[in-house]
Structure 1
Amino acid sequence: MSDRPRIRLGGRTRERLRTPRAAGPGAPAQLGVVLRTPARAAEPLFAQAPKFWQRMLPYAVVGVFVVTLLPVTIAVLTGDYGADGGWSGALGVAQTVPLLLAVTRPVPAWALVLFADTFGAVLLAHADKVAGHPWPWPPMTIVGYLALMACMGLRESIRTLVGVWLATGAVGAVLGSFFQPAGTTNTAALLFVLSGVVLALTGALRGLGDAQRRIAEQESISEAERARRTLLEERARIARELHDVVAHHMSVITVQADSAPYRLPGMPEPVQEEFAVIAASARESLGEMRRLLTVLRGDGTERAEGEKVPQPGIDRVQQLVEATVRAGQPVELSLAAGAAGAAPPAVDLSAYRIVQEALANVVRHAPGAETRVSVTADEDEVLVVVVNGPAPGAVVALEGSGTGHGLVGMRERVRLTGGTLDTGPLPDGGFRVAARLPLKDATEDAS
């Protein structure tokens, strides 16, 4: 008998599997990750650590150094070097307290500590018991300075670290050349070497963290690009499948419309003309779908072939209106004489598509409504206005609701040419579409 717990859902009993939880990284591994995560500008050290104690760790470590070094520094300067008690206390504070600033502002902290250490070295050169002791950097000064170098290496750039290291060596060399008392052990070279080692190690740790962060960012970008490419491929695939489905039905419509006069002999002339118009419209729709599919496939050769086919423009608006009238929609057209040849290709095509979509919306949502189409042009712009009245009371709309994609497509085309679009219902229950397509902006963009 299995000892796994069972849960009952919808009359069925299912077993819930117990999966062991993955063991998380231990504290040393977590700390290693934190150390390899460099601090950003205006952020404390370990500010990006996931846990509170990790973010507080730099403050605790630096606090321990300050609390330990401050009394030791005062005692050593007073007892071993024979410095004055007041000066020893001032130097101890100046050399250790700025370490607290190293967590957030290591460069200002370094400047304060280096100035205090240099001043202390000059002061100790005249102390009574300096002979036989390390100079210019006493042991507690070296310890505090190395702690400061560790904070700086985890925070600053390589150029800054090199400058700090060279400045440390230069100050030690100047002090040793001009101020070194007799009988003292020069520690300038020792601090120069040790600070270089600490800066190199912490700087390498920071560089490792930067490299890992860049790799993670690049992987995120690559993942986003892969997702975007997958989305585009899926859209293209859907478009091809939609083309296959629609093209099949349109081809059937074309064949049936073309063969109707032969299958139904004795058909009146107006009916034969109507079937011919239906067949021509179906063939035109098939051609436009093939051109759109060519663009979606992204093949340069096929796109070039597709672009050879002329696109519809303002000169074909009259044919579009006539086809709509034959479909039973009363439409009046007002087409300016110079509008057909004045617009550049982008505006020409956009104007045609806006009229086409507006009339399609009228047929779908207000069949039989009185409709007026106006296309005018001057030196600056093309104005397209499509206004329809309310649908007759006895007529039921072919579609009760729409997706809104038609208006979205109009806005995209108007935005492409830098124009404006005004759409909305009218007080009498009709609808108005007005598009202003500037000619100069479109011409400049095309050029």
Structure 2
Amino acid sequence: MGPVAQEQTAEPLTQYVHRMLRRVRAFDRRHPLAWDLHLTGFCVSAALIDWAGDGWRNIARNPEVPGWLVLTLSLGLTVPLLWRRTHPRTVLLAMAPMTLANAWTGATLQAALLQLVVLYNIALRLPLRTLWWTTPVVMAPVCVTAVRHPHGSWDQQVVPALMSTALVAVIGIAVRTRRDYTAALEDRARRLEIERDQQARLAAAAERARIAREMHDIIGHNLSVITGLADGGRYAATKTPERATQALQAISTTSRQALTDLRRLLDVLRDEETLPSDPDLTPQPTLTDLDHLIAGVREAGLPVRTTIHGKPTALPPGRQLTVYRVIQEALTNTLKHAGPGATSHIEISYDDGGAVTVTATDTTHHPQAAPRTPGQGRGLTGMHERTALYGGTLEAGPLPHPDHGWRVHLRLPEELPQ
């Protein structure tokens, strides 16, 4: 492998650093106490080494401070760091007497700078208004040292400490802002993922409902026609064999048509590449197929009379399918429930503006006709769902007394321009 290939496969330093930081943060989230113990232990050890080796005297304003006091101040300035993340405000207040004593006695231990670590955690975790009173607490020992043990000019002692305090606070605020921003992005991504899953489930549910409507319309209607033809053929077999033969031929034709439509629908489900973009694979009847539908119902033994007002305009395929399926379902229900001797009347009105009105009425004088209740079964629900897609209205219910029968009234309004 040449040098160029090695440069292309080498991991950038920034990615390596980010990955290591993610691992450290992940470990810290899982084991926060372990990190706190390590940091606190390091600070305590450094303070004790400074005390035991008398290194603190090299920068002290008063090298004659008793050793026991220096030990007490060293522990008081380092041990509270163990709780700096969970209770930073309390830790700062607990360290305040130690820092004041450190400044008053002139020991000026470097461990007093650990107040800045606590200040960083306050800026990172607590409300920003907390900084208004924590800043004076941090600066108070600096002012005490400048007054009691002056060393150089006032600005040389106070201004650097003030700038350090402000810098630590700004760093804490910046890290906090970035953390909140990252959390907001992660939350937004999580909500978008949930919303995407919900949209996918809704789309799947809508597709299942559409498929259920299509299968109900295809299978339910054709089976009802086949049942009517079979019953008629059975009665005609003993008296008119020719009529029985015609019924069997009609059953064969109807069943083949139903099988073809069902196979097309299943092909759409099986092959994602042939979804509705290929109209030849989706069973989408139009208004021109109504004559064939009504002829099949008549062959099944149901007299159907049709009345058409106006001329059909160029209706979109979806609206034509809705009209077709509503008429199909109405005739299917008549075959199922109206009983022998029933008749059906289909009235279709086309308005010049593109609105369509369909009224399907069946009548029967048979007392044993099967009762029908609005809202029961998949058929009426499917008709309502199809109608609602185009802002139409659909009414289905029994004829008023003393008539016996059923009426379905569909109204699709004019399609408004987009």
The TM-score by the shorter chain falls in which range?
Answer: 0.5 to 0.7
Q: Is 1:285 matched up with 2:258? A: yes
Structure 2, gaps ≥5 residues long: 1-27, 37-82, 107-117
Q: Is 1:367 matched up with 2:339? A: yes
> How many residues are paired up?
310
* 1:180-227 Cα distance to aligned partner (Å, 9 max, x none): 536657314543564566567767877887788688778868987998
Report the identity percentage. 25
Which residue of 2 is the match for residue 64 of structure 1? 90
Kindly state the Cα deviation for residue 343 of structure 1 after the two structures are TM-superposed. 2.5
Structure 1, gaps ≥5 residues long: 1-26, 36-56, 82-95, 134-178
Shift in CA distance, 117/431, structure 1 to aligned 2, threshold 3 Å: farther
Partner residue of 1:354 out of 323, 326, 332? 326
Shift in CA distance, 209/316, structure 1 to aligned 2, threshold 3 Å: closer
Q: How does 1:298-313 map to 2 (within 5 A)?
A: 298-301=271-274, 306-307=279-280, 311-313=284-286
Which residue of 1 is the match for residue 15 of structure 2? none
CA contact 1:383–1:434 (8 Å) conserved in 2:
yes
Partner residue of 1:297 out of 262, 270, 273? 270
Cα distance between partner residues in 2 of 1:185 and 1:308: 81
Name the TM-score, length of structure 2 as normaliser.
Answer: 0.52
Which residue of 1 is the match for residue 391 of structure 2? 418
Cα distance between partner residues in 1 of 2:380 and 2:31: 54
Kindly state the Cα deviation for residue 294 of structure 1 after the two structures are TM-superposed. 2.9
Cα distance between partner residues in 1 of 2:241 and 2:412: 44
Which residue of 2 is the match for residue 388 of structure 1? 362
Which residue of 2 is the match for residue 187 of structure 1? 161
Partner residue of 1:432 out of 399, 407, 414? 407
Q: Is 1:326 matched up with 2:326? A: no
Kindly state the Cα deviation for residue 303 of structure 1 after the two structures are TM-superposed. 5.4
Q: Is 1:107 matched up with 2:80? A: no
* 1:78-134 Cα distance to aligned partner (Å, 9 max, x none): x789xxxxxxxxxxxxxx9xx999866x23444x3488689x88x969x9547349x
Q: Which is worse superposed, 181-190 or 291-300?
A: 181-190
Cα distance between partner residues in 1 of 2:415 and 2:252: 39
Shift in CA distance, 228/183, structure 1 to aligned 2, threshold 3 Å: closer
One-letter amino acid matched to 2:366 = P
Cα distance between partner residues in 1 of 2:276 and 2:309: 33
Larger radius of gyration: 2
Kindly state the Cα deviation for residue 354 of structure 1 after the two structures are TM-superposed. 0.6
One-letter amino acid matched to 2:150 = A
One-letter amino acid matched to 2:87 = V
* 1:35-54 Cα distance to aligned partner (Å, 9 max, x none): 9xxxxxxxxxxxxxxxxxxx
Other structure's SS at 2:301 match: coil
Other structure's SS at 2:379 match: helix
Shift in CA distance, 197/418, structure 1 to aligned 2, threshold 3 Å: same
Kindly state the Cα deviation for residue 322 of structure 1 after the two structures are TM-superposed. 3.7
Cα distance between partner residues in 2 of 1:318 and 1:335: 12
Q: How does 1:260-275 map to 2 (within 5 A)?
A: 269-275=242-248
* 1:257-304 Cα distance to aligned partner (Å, 9 max, x none): 9xx9xxx9x965544444443333223222322332232224435856
Shift in CA distance, 345/324, structure 1 to aligned 2, threshold 3 Å: same
Shift in CA distance, 415/74, structure 1 to aligned 2, threshold 3 Å: farther
Other structure's SS at 1:363 match: helix
CA contact 1:418–1:438 (8 Å) conserved in 2:
yes
Kindly state the Cα deviation for residue 312 of structure 1 after the two structures are TM-superposed. 2.6
CA contact 2:337–2:369 (8 Å) conserved in 1:
no
CA contact 2:322–2:386 (8 Å) conserved in 1:
yes
Cα distance between partner residues in 1 of 2:248 and 2:386: 32
Cα distance between partner residues in 1 of 2:157 and 2:317: 92
One-letter amino acid matched to 1:413 = R
Instruction: Give the helix-richer structure, 1 or 2.
Output: 2
Cα distance between partner residues in 1 of 2:88 and 2:309: 82
Other structure's SS at 2:155 match: coil
CA contact 1:58–1:103 (8 Å) conserved in 2:
no
One-letter amino acid matched to 2:90 = V
Q: Is 1:314 matched up with 2:333? A: no
Shift in CA distance, 108/382, structure 1 to aligned 2, threshold 3 Å: farther
Pairwise CA RMSD: 5.8
Cα distance between partner residues in 2 of 1:427 and 1:350: 26
Cα distance between partner residues in 2 of 1:430 and 1:391: 8
